[in-house]
A and B are shown apart, each in its own frame.
Chain A
């Protein structure tokens, strides 16, 4: 009955992974540091922008977007939210978080929409991609935080990379779904009128998948915001900071205002992007 003897570990997978990551860190750390660069550049740019512009202008721009896409109520809610955040003394943290979220969503969109399109057009590709997406969504972030830190070192950029891993799947899935939901008759009609595969994608599939893509974008933003606190654990700045700091020093009030700001910010971004998706 040796087959069912589970007393001792037969497969030392943990050791293998340990060795593999150590080997990666030892030999390829520089490569991973280069990967960081584009993320770093966009983050720094956005942060610089948000810290340079006067707060009233930022509020005005976001309020305009809310008014344009989500109606009056959301506009009022948006203005009140940002005023409250300012009065709570969390303006700078909020700007950092906003820059982080926008950066990660940007990269998620750049990688996720093409992947989603490919998986929408090929059953095989989707079959291969799906387990990875499942893993990205369900693997507890703490599992990959340490290797991320080892490869990319501590800081906001590493936080964003961890966020991208977690927030990428919804935009891929919903883009794929949107592409798949396009009526086959419409594609047939397009081909009958001499559309090339590229034209089918640009003129028919993608425009019709757009509402679904936007829903994916909205979900990605929400997921990115939910990673803010976890990212703070590996040294990322932003609204996660007061929360983590509050937890460490048992300052419940500090943790709460940090959490409240995250929730309010999430609601504002959700309403605006949902409105955008409907347009």
Chain B
């Protein structure tokens, strides 16, 4: 499926303070944020940010406070005017857009959910949910019906007549979400939307958002400083540091190949077994024996010995996984004369397989309980690679390579990690 670009951000800059032009020049000369602030008392909020956001994805912009993530999201709907650069939404240039057009865009196409909820204290829940529609001049009956529908989606229709201050934080943010959903926008901007909630409620809200996203795909730009959150809900993540976008990619990509120490430091506390799936780390470095050679177990044995491996993975012509043989099982089978000397008779007992989408946590018992690397198959049963104990440990130690026992480092994968569908 070709990915359609919904939002395109191109060389976007935001400079706060008295001398934006001067600061831009200093930036060109390669000075960093602190030096520029010292010289001009001008703060570089966002620096040369470029990325694309695809239709229907949850795009998380992550960074510590002061990294410019909230500024970026506000430039998408021009709550903050960029100093330089371009933002396109559906190929329309937001920055050069007339005021009327911009207002229309904000009313129909994009809505926003705020960290502080920002509910109107003088309006009840229903009126708050209907706020965007009211701004759009939609009549009372229609807008309240639509607002009620949005409240239903977040499970708050029963509270329609309550005032915001009568609700808990989690409920208030549901109202905030309903207000965003009521206008039925293509794009939902969520600025640290769940950060003010306590952890349990936060997880609940994340699940809620994912559920809503399953029902009707919107393009969601989610700002977060919480990596776990980013990993849980993000289809792709942009990591920001000091106003610059340092890396953009899927959680797996970033976890596997952090662009720099900053990104890596971010991930140090993350438990990779939650994020990575079997397919992300499986390597196709084991010996495979096509079953067509099944009639000639000796050839297979030769390959094992030649490659200095103990186990071989038997596949058919379509690479569908059949079983595992070892040098021992092949030799034993060849010793016995009471059955034909074919490879299936040498299959090891108790072999289990795992799917590429299984999480590392799921496969841990299998990896740990057998001496052979766990074969990883795709949905069609095709063999993609295997995960050995060493490989598993190396993944856990990612980011701490210096602490890794030396013997774990020898076994380098011969091929790149496999993705689903790649053979």
Contacts and interface: CB of A to CB of B under 8 A. Distances in A.
Contacts of A188: 79, 114, 118
A193 to B, nearest CB: 4
B251 to A, nearest CB: 28
B223 to A, nearest CB: 13
B79 A194 contact: no
Interface string A183-222: 1011011111111100100011001100000000000000
Contacts of B183: 193
Interface in A47-64: none
A247 B183 CA distance: 69
Contact of B112 (A183, A193, A207, A208): A193
Contacts of A189: 112, 114, 118, 120, 131
B107 A194 contact: yes
Nearest to A204: B120
B140 to A, nearest CB: 13
Contacts of B213: none
Contact of A185 (B104, B116, B179): B116
Nearest to A193: B132
Contacts of A207: 122
Given A192-B112, A193-B179, A203 B134 contact: yes
Nearest to B80: A188
Interface string B119-141: 01110000000011011100000
Contacts of B179: 193
Nearest to A187: B118
Chain B contact residues: over half helix, strand or loop, or mixed?
mixed
A110 B62 CA distance: 50
Contacts of A191: 79, 106
Contacts of B116: 183, 185
B43 interface: no
Interface residues of A, number: 17
Nearest to B134: A203
B111 interface: yes
B103 interface: yes
A208 B136 CA distance: 21
Interface in B168-185: 179, 183
Interface residues on B, range: 20 to 34
Nearest to A191: B79
Contacts, number: 58
Nearest to B111: A193
Contacts of A194: 103-108, 132, 135-136
B349 to A, nearest CB: 63
B122 to A, nearest CB: 5
A207 B127 CA distance: 14
B118 A195 contact: no
A251 to B, nearest CB: 52
A68 B116 CA distance: 36
B77 interface: yes
Instruction: Point out which of A192, A194, A204 has the most chain B C-beta atoms below 10 A from its C-beta.
Output: A194
Contact of A199 (B108, B111, B121, B135): B135
Contacts of B120: 186, 189-190, 203-204, 208
Interface string B60-103: 00000000000000000101000000000000000000000001
B131 A193 contact: yes
B106 A193 contact: yes
A257 to B, nearest CB: 44
B103 A196 contact: yes
A197 to B, nearest CB: 10
A185 B189 CA distance: 15
A91 to B, nearest CB: 40
Contacts of B79: 188, 191-192
B131 A190 contact: yes
Nearest to A188: B79
Contacts of A185: 114, 116, 118
A192 B131 contact: no
Contacts of B107: 193-194
B74 to A, nearest CB: 8
Given A185-B114, A207-B122, A192 B103 contact: no
A225 B47 CA distance: 60
A182 to B, nearest CB: 10
Nearest to B110: A192
A183 B116 CA distance: 11
A192 B121 contact: no
Nearest to B107: A194
Contacts of B112: 189, 192-193
17 contacts: A185-B118, A186-B118, A188-B114, A188-B118, A189-B112, A189-B120, A191-B79, A191-B106, A192-B77, A193-B132, A193-B135, A193-B183, A194-B108, A194-B132, A195-B135, A208-B120, A208-B121
Interface of A: 183, 185-186, 188-196, 199, 203-204, 207-208
Given A193-B112, A194-B108, A204-B120, 12 more contacts: A185-B114, A186-B120, A188-B118, A189-B118, A190-B131, A192-B106, A193-B131, A193-B132, A193-B179, A193-B183, A194-B104, A194-B105
The 3 A-B residue pairs with the shortest CB-CB distance, nearest first, are: A194-B107, A194-B106, A189-B118
